[in-house]
Amino acid sequence: MKLSFIKETPLKIPYTTANVIGMLVNRLTAMLEEMAAARPIVVVCVGTDRSTGDSLGPLIGTSLSKYRSPHFSLFGTLENPVHAMNLDDTLIEINRRFHKPFVIGIDACLGQVSSVGSIQVGVGPVRPGAGVNKDLPPVGDIHITGIVNVGGFMEYFVLQNTRLHLVMKMADIISLSLFTAIANNAHITTSVLEQTAASDNT
């Protein structure tokens, strides 16, 4: 799958779709293979556990942290969330610690009624705070967002009154899909390096 195709067609899929995890894994694996190369992968899950709707990111981060994978670094969990107050410092720390990191930005967002429950994957950063008129720095070379509720009116109240069931179901799907894609990419990268080393030795 070529990057130009990925850029033209961001994926948007309801979490209730039959093969939602397989479709997300395929898209994310292709994006990582095309774009991440040998760069360190850093996952930034934006949000806060003080708001049900805005807890999607930290829930995903907490799920990912349980894998204890060496193939990516993680910022943003329920215990240590990345939110409006520390986002700038977090991004500075990431760029200090990692050389040319490939950042995956994850956040909840608001949308149209028909889109609630949809998961979006696309090239370019997520823009935290846009739904509640906050001016925060963009995050990510690619983004994953979950549309948790309806936007356009009393956004803070809407986020506070989002169903936890929906947020947790979406968090489970996104975390499993992303971990699988990163593991796939690590396997692909290792195979390419081994093949290159073998050909150098012949």
Look up residue 109 and give its two tokens: 């967002």
The pLDDT of residue 192 is above 70? no
Q: What is the mean pLDDT of the chain?
A: 88
Give the range with max mean pLDDT: 101-105, 109-113, 154-158, 184-188. Answer: 101-105
| Mean predicted confidence (pLDDT) in 55-76 | 95
How far is 145 from 167, CA to CA, in rounded Å? Answer: 11
- 27-44 pLDDT, tens digit per residue, is 999 999 999 988 999 999
- 96-144 pLDDT, tens digit per residue, is 999 999 999 999 999 999 999 999 999 999 988 765 667 789 999 999 9
How far is 155 from 147, CA to CA, in rounded Å? Answer: 13
How far is 7 from 152, CA to CA, in rounded Å? Answer: 27
The pLDDT of residue 1 is above 50? no
The pLDDT of residue 62 is above 90? yes
- Check residue 188 and give its pLDDT: 72
pTM of the model: 0.89
| Residue in the block written with tokens 């947020």 | 167
Q: Mind giving me the DSSP string for 132-150?
A: GT-----B-SEEEEEEEEE
Look up residue 201 and give its two tokens: 């030795």
In the sheet with 41-45, reading across from the earlier edge strand, the strands are: 11-14, 118-123, 142-150, 102-111, 41-45, 73-75
Cβ neighbors of 183 (< 8 A, separation 6 or more) are: 69, 71
- 2-23 pLDDT, tens digit per residue, is 455 555 578 999 999 999 999 9
How far is 87 from 42, CA to CA, in rounded Å? Answer: 14
